[in-house]
Amino acid sequence: NAGVTQTPKFQVLKTGQSMTLQCAQDMNHEYMSWYRQDPGMGLRLIHYSVGAGITDQGEVPNGYNVSRSTTEDFPLRLLSAAPSQTSVYFCASNEVTGIMETQYFGPGTRLLVL
Amino acid sequence: AQKVTQAQTEISVVEKEDVTLDCVYETRDTTYYLFWYKQPPSGELVFLIRRNSFDEQNEISGRYSWNFQKSTSSFNFTITASQVVDSAVYFCALSEAEGNFNKFYFGSGTKLNVKP
């Protein structure tokens, strides 16, 4: 049971380049989400998914796309990277037990856009 | 307006001191959940505790304790006899239902420095 995995751990992009941040979980969780963490701002929700084929926008979705073709994978795509997207990105998977819910986070991807 | 406020940006204590991290939240829901996470210098986010809005009992886990008070919308976290390994950024979070998803709102974090 690997939990939530993210790749790559670190990436440098030039402005305008595209890339996909990978996220996978092996806990069969329906709910997954992407956050970005910037200094002094805590975590902000980018996109989330309540199951395969279903995604929705969070607080800061602009510049990012997501898809959820399987329960396990939830990739985050940057179509045209901008310096403002320099951040640490966390993927999370939600465990729902009855009415209780807990998030488990991946190790993060540190992205630098030049 | 911030849904979760952690007014203490950074706290420094000496080892063995007790320290309390404050968290104030804002919600109109009657059912919600509160969380604390730890982010050590290595960067990963570690789940510490989850508390639902119907359970106001204080909880103690080893050196950690949590004080949930609905009357003041606070969910404070106390570390007793702090240790250097407690040095980390601590995040408080609120989860409330929006449609068929429970959205999480994080505070900006409190950086705790425990000096030997």
SS (H, E, C) B2-36: CCEECCCCEEEEECCCCEEECCEECCCCCCEEEEE
pLDDT tens figures, B21-66? 999 999 998 889 899 999 998 888 888 888 888 877 777 778 999 9
Identify the closest residue of chain B to A57 by CA–CA distance: B103
How far is A83 from chain B, CA to nearest CA, in Å?
21
pLDDT tens figures, B53-65? 887 777 777 899 9
Please report residues of A whose CB lies closer than 8 A to that of B36: none
Residue with tokens 């309390």: B20
Q: Of A101, A89, A13, which is closest to residue B101 (Cα–Cα)? A: A101
CB A15 within 8 A of CB A81: yes
The per-residue pLDDT for B24 is: 97
Higher local confidence (pLDDT), B76 or A58: B76
pLDDT tens figures, A22-52? 999 999 999 999 999 998 778 899 999 989 9
The per-residue pLDDT for B50 is: 85
φ/ψ bin of A16: left (φ > 0), alpha (ψ from -120 to 50), beta (otherwise): left
The per-residue pLDDT for A58 is: 87
Please report residues of B whose CB lies closer than 8 A to that of A35: 106
Give the number of A-B residue pairs with CB atoms closer than 8 Å.
Answer: 55
DSSP A73: B
- CA torsion angle for B74, B78, B84, B87 (degrees, to 10)? -10
Q: Which residues contact A77 (CB under 8 A, 6 or more apart)?
A: A18, A19, A20, A21, A64, A65, A66, A67
- CA A37/CA B107 separation, integer angstroms: 11
Identify the closest residue of chain A to B10 by CA–CA distance: A40
For A5-9, what is the mean pLDDT? Answer: 96
Q: Which residues contact A62 (CB under 8 A, 6 or more apart)?
A: none
What sign does the CA torsion over B59, B65, B67, B68 have?
negative
Chain-chain contact of B35 with A102 (C-beta, under 8 angstroms): yes
Tell me the Cα Rg of chain B: 14
| Confidence category of residue A53, pLDDT binned at 50, 70, 90 | very high
Please report residues of B whose CB lies closer than 8 A to that of A100: 33, 50, 52
| Confidence category of residue A1, pLDDT binned at 50, 70, 90 | low
CB A93 within 8 A of CB A78: no
40-99 in chain A: CB under 8 A from chain B: 40-45, 48, 50, 56, 58, 88, 90, 92, 94, 99
How far is B69 from chain A, CA to nearest CA, in Å?
19
pLDDT tens figures, A13-22? 999 999 999 9
| pLDDT beyond 80 at B1 | no
Identify the closest residue of chain A to B40 by CA–CA distance: A107
How far is B44 from chain A, CA to nearest CA, in Å?
5
- CA torsion angle for A65, A67, A73, A77 (degrees, to 10)? -20
For B2-23, what is the mean pLDDT? Answer: 95
pLDDT tens figures, A61-109? 999 999 999 999 999 999 999 999 999 999 999 887 766 677 889 999 9
Chain-chain contact of A44 with B104 (C-beta, under 8 angstroms): no
